[in-house]
Amino acid sequence: MRNYPEEDYDIKDVEKMNAKEWMLEALKMNPSYCCWGPYEDYMCKYTDEEAKEHNAKMIAEHGYDPKRKGGGWDSRFIVDSWKEFDWKLDDYNELVNFYFEVNRASKECEACEGKGLNPKTKIISDNYYKHSSYDNNLVEQGWMHNITDDEVEALVKGGRLSDLLDGWWSFDKENSTWKKMVVDGDKREWVEQDNPPVMPTAGKVNSWSKKGIGHDSINCWILVKARAKRLGVYGTCDCCDGDGYVYTEPSAKLGLVLWMLHPRKGCSRGVHIKHIKKDELNSAIKYLQEAKERNADRFKYLRTTTPQHLVEEYHDARKDKSVSPEDYAKIIDGASNEYGSERGGSLLLWYLKEERPKLNPCHFCGSNKLGFDNDKRGVLIRCSDCGMKLGLCYDDIYIDNKHKVDTTLRAVKLAEYTAQMWNKEKTIDELKDMSKINSKTYCFACYGWTDTETVIMKNEGKCDLCGHNMFNDASYDYAKKHWIDGTYYDKPEGV
C-alpha cells in the first residue's frame, strides 16, 4: 500500500494487513505519484544474487541456462532494515524521489494458484485461453472466442466493448441505471440514459475478438465471473478468501523505496528498505529532508528572463510622471503571476531604484554604500559596509501570486513610506529612542500602522487597529524585555 487508505477496499486491506496507525500516517508524506519501484518497468534489474537464483531455477525446471546477469549500479538494491542502509548523500549518491509503503509479507495461495477462485471457477478461468486449457467436464477448452449474449451484456455493463457501441456506456449497479459518456469539447461527463444501449450480438463480438487486440485481461475476469454465475458455480477460494495469497507474517511493516542517482556513472536504481521501525522513522525522514535540501540548493540560483513586453511596459510607465502607484502595482503583479515571484520582486526593485531619491548615508556607520536589495524575505534597504538591513515589505505581501493587485499596491506604498522615513535626518540615538519608521509597527493583517509602545506594553502584542496578534509567545516576551530595558532597536538588522 502506497497511498493513505480512503476507499472502502483500501480500508479492508488495512484491516487484513493488521497495519498500525503510525505506518499509515507515514503514507501521507508520499508524493502524489508512486507508481514506480525496484520491481517495476526498467528499474527491475535483478541483484547479482537474484540473477544466480533465477538461472539455477531455469536450469532445474527447463534444462536451460538464460545466463541472466545482475548487480551493478543500474540494478535494484534491497536491504531488510533501516540499520543495514548506510548510503550517504554526496556527489556519488543523490536521492531524487521516494515513497513509504505498508506491506505484510505473503506468498501465493497454493490451493488456487494465486487466482483467488474456488475449484470450479478456476477451471473456467484456466480454460479461457486455448494454450492453458485442459480436459474438463465444465466448459469447452479455449472458450474466449465463443461467448454468449448474457456474457456480452456483462461486458457492456462493465464499461467494455465501446468499439462495438455508439459510444462509452456503463451500468450503475447501485441505482440500476445506464449511463453514457457525453463529450462536449474538452468536457466529458457520464449522463444517465432512459434506454440501454443496443447490444452487439455474441457472434459479432466473437468475430471482433479474433482480430487485433480483442479481449484484454479485464474482459477475461468479467467473462469468467459471468459464465461461472450462469453455471451456478461462482465463488472465491476458501483458503485465501479470494485474495490469491496468504500472509506469512503476523502484521504489516513500514518500508521505504528510494530512487537514487549516480551522476558520475550516469545510472539510477531503485532501493527497497523492507522494514523501518517506529523509533527509526524520524531518522529516515531526516535523510529525506537532507535530500530535499540538496535538490533545492542545486536549483536556487535559477532566474527567469524578464519578458521584453514587461520591460517596455515598465519603462513606458516610468516616463510618464503622472503614472500612479496603482499602475506600477499592476505591472509588478503581472510579472509575478506570469513569470514567478523573483521577477515580480525585481520589477519592484527597478521602481524603487529609479523613482525614489538617493538614500541618505547609513544611520549606523555613515556609509554612502546604501541601496535597495532583494532577498527571499522581500525588498529591503541594505548597507554594504556595516550590513544593516531594513525590511520594506515581504513575499507574502507583494510577490505572492495568490494575492490581488491591491495587495501589491499596499506593498509599493509601504516601500515608499519606509524609504521616506529613512531619508529623514536622524541621529543613531534618535533611532534607538523612536523607531526606524517613526515609532510605528506595520500590521500585515489590516495593512495599517500602529504605535509600537502601545502594542508591546498595553495590548500584549496585539495590533491597536484590528486586534491581530503581531507576536508569538516567544517573540513577544523578547520584545517586551528589550522595550523595557531600552534595547529594542539596538540590532542593526532593522525593524
Helix (H, G, I), strand (E, B) or coil at 166: coil
pLDDT-above-70 percentage for the chain: 68
Domain final residue, candidates 425, 449, 468? 425
Residue 1 lies in a domain: no
Q: CA dist 187 to 162, 197, 254, 312, 340, Å?
A: 19, 22, 40, 38, 30
Among 299, 323, 358, which residue terminates a domain?
A: 299
Instruction: Give the domain-ending residue among 299, 325, 356.
Output: 299
- Is 452 found in the same domain as 405? no
Number of domains in the chain: 4
Query: Residue 270: pLDDT above 90?
Result: yes
Same domain, 220 and 281: no
Could you tell me the pLDDT band of residue 480, with boundaries at 50, 70 and 90? confident
Is a pLDDT exceeding 90 seen at residue 150?
yes
- Are the C-beta atoms of 180 and 169 separated by less than 8 Å? yes
Q: Is residue 135 part of a domain?
A: no
Backbone angles phi, psi at 106, to 5 degrees: -150, 170
- The whole domain housing 474 covers 427-495
pLDDT at position 406 over 70: no
- The whole-number pLDDT of residue 289 equals 95
The pTM for the full model equals 0.56
Q: Which cell is 196 given?
A: 440501454
- Give per-residue pLDDT as tens, 320-342: 555 555 555 555 555 444 444 44
Tell whether the model's pLDDT for residue 493 goes beyond 50: no
Residues 85, 152 share a domain? no
In this predicted model, what pLDDT tens digit does every residue of 231-259 receive, in sequence order? 999 999 999 999 999 999 999 999 999 99
Same domain, 265 and 325: no
The mean pLDDT of the chain is 78
Same domain, yes or no, for 332 and 269? no
Non-local CB neighbours of 67 within 8 Å, separated by 6+ positions: 55
Quickly list DSSP for 242-286: TSSEEESSSS-EEEEEEEEEETTTTEEEEEEE----GGGHHHHHH
Q: How far apart are CA 430 and CA 434, in angstroms?
A: 6
**Residues 432, 418 within the same domain:** no
| Confidence band for 359, pLDDT divided at 50, 70 and 90 | low
Identify whether residues 349 and 317 lie together within a single domain: yes
In DSSP terms, which residues pair with 108 in a beta bridge?
245
The reported pLDDT for the residue numbered 319 is: 59
**Above 70 in pLDDT, residue 364?**
no
